[in-house]
Chain A
């Protein structure tokens, strides 16, 4: 299948520190890619470069920022505006051909129609994240980037969020998400990209990661930790 997004040899330096060291990635339509790794591994930097909000010092990304939906870790919304006003503003900035239809479509998709007139500041964390994602989906991108989307959500909100993301994936949208929650990576990702110290250590399915570690008596989280340890991290 033709990849919907490709990144080749991405390098990012902050002063003397190399946040990314030649990371490459290839994502197919509808694929769910989980980017995992310890703190400071370069997950957010990778997603920021794929989103176009940062430029790599080396390497390139196959798609322009306008072709990629991006949902930053913290909800990038205006608290004093309502759900609908936020969606309408970004739909206009995204130059959606039919702003009204795009907004209504997103309200329906996120099941926030009954909260359309609520100020975002009054929404729960889960609903706010759904609006955050909806804004990332407004230009109807073939690829959606989610930076730790379930952080600060309770289990019920997290479950609803993943239902929403899985539905997107089934609809053909490729989703790349970073997470600290290894269980979420195992459960939902079709492909894992393991980063540590800016380097990509592994690319493959969760099952392949377990096979790489080579023991069957460990759960996935233990296998992941063992993998990092074996790789010197």
Chain B
């Protein structure tokens, strides 16, 4: 078996096109995924007109000076702003296709914000010629304006809470035009009124009226004590807050999970194609019958092909992971687990590959069959629950469990990201190795 293994390695070494496909292809994929993960999406170009004079960017909210331009900067986080001087110029750039859209901040925005009456408006212009671009610009700007709104709302709420607390406890509130005004506060008002009431004669006609005002002040104090302004206004400003709870592991960041998927896809292609191809090649070269008439047992031949494919794909995918580690932070302290997961996945894919190779007589047919089978099983394995009906998802789960992609992905995810148990997918893969090896052994019977 050792000599067959070395023979196959020699043949691979002399097949540069095949090696290029099997080695360079996954490495290119890994580099592309790495760039995609680290670079992120391009920001859409948007023309930006700020009609507010620089000196008027500051608004006064209850005596607090707030720089509105600070909140406008949030919008620029997701767009590439092209600053222009007028609305007309912005509109022309949109029409000419130089920018995907335009964002116009009108001159009266600070006045409207300053007055605290009604909403201020910004204008968004976008080109609807391309639906994809249209939606990208619309959603990006809408989302960022909402974020800016939320930030401003939070600031408004803080100021309102401060003023309400002053109304309760007393202090200074700044009013437009009038400036700072001393407020006695409900609590002190009550104390003053109680003192005034006590100084009045018992039969004073003013006493019941003062009593009513004291009761009002007491109720207001009690109410504000029971429903603190900071809680009430926070609830008004953000009535619905999402409470995020993760179930079933889920500690894997998206980019690290993408690494697991990229490596599993490469492992699948390399192992399946090698195992199926090298076994089919024995028949294509007419050597199969010569080998199995006493030189090598059929089971030994299958073991050799599985081992060869698993060894080569393990090397390739380990290199690939090292390449991906340049872009995504991978914990090299878990490298031992990577090797275990990759080896188990490679053996399972190898067993599946020889089952495919045992069904075919030619390398081309084996490769085509391996390719045709691998794409759907990879696709099915990453369909998330909820994306299809529960019954269909159950079918997909069963089908995915019959092939090595999903357990390999789970094993790699556990190995790379410490997400979930590594033992369960390893046992699953071991069962698949046995099942596919048996299927391959049975399939070989028809060629003798």
Contacts and interface: CB of A to CB of B under 8 A. Distances in A.
Interface stretch (B7-15, B21-29, B143-151, B154-162): B7-15
A6 to B, nearest CB: 19
A92 interface: yes
Contact of A81 (B7, B293, B294): B7
B295 A94 contact: yes
Contacts of B287: 76-78
Nearest to A64: B294
B292 interface: yes
A53 B295 contact: no
Contacts of B14: 80
25 contacts: A53-B290, A53-B292, A53-B293, A64-B294, A65-B294, A66-B294, A70-B293, A72-B289, A76-B285, A77-B285, A77-B286, A78-B11, A80-B10, A80-B11, A80-B14, A80-B15, A81-B7, A81-B10, A85-B7, A90-B295, A93-B3, A93-B4, A93-B295, A93-B296, A94-B295
Interface string B273-301: 00000000000011101111111100000
A3 to B, nearest CB: 21
Given A81-B7, A85-B10, A93-B3, A53 B15 contact: no
B7 A75 contact: no
Contacts, number: 56
Contacts of A81: 7, 10-11
B347 to A, nearest CB: 24
Contacts of B286: 72, 74-77
Interface of A: 48, 51-54, 64-66, 70, 72, 74-81, 85, 89-90, 92-94, 135
Interface residues of B, number: 19
Nearest to B292: A53
Nearest to B6: A89
B230 to A, nearest CB: 78
A90 B14 CA distance: 19
A60 to B, nearest CB: 16
A89 B3 contact: yes
A176 to B, nearest CB: 15
B11 A76 contact: no
Contacts of A79: 285
B448 interface: yes
B290 A78 contact: no
Kindly name the residue among A64, A65, A74, A80 whose own CB sees the greatest number of chain B CB atoms within 10 A: A80
A135 B294 contact: no
Contact of A92 (B3, B10, B11, B15): B3
The 7 closest A-B pairs by CB, nearest first: A76-B286, A93-B295, A53-B293, A76-B290, A65-B294, A74-B286, A92-B3
Contacts of B11: 78, 80-81
Contacts of A78: 7, 11, 285, 287
Contacts of A54: 448
B81 to A, nearest CB: 60
Given A90-B295, A93-B295, A93-B296, A53 B448 contact: yes
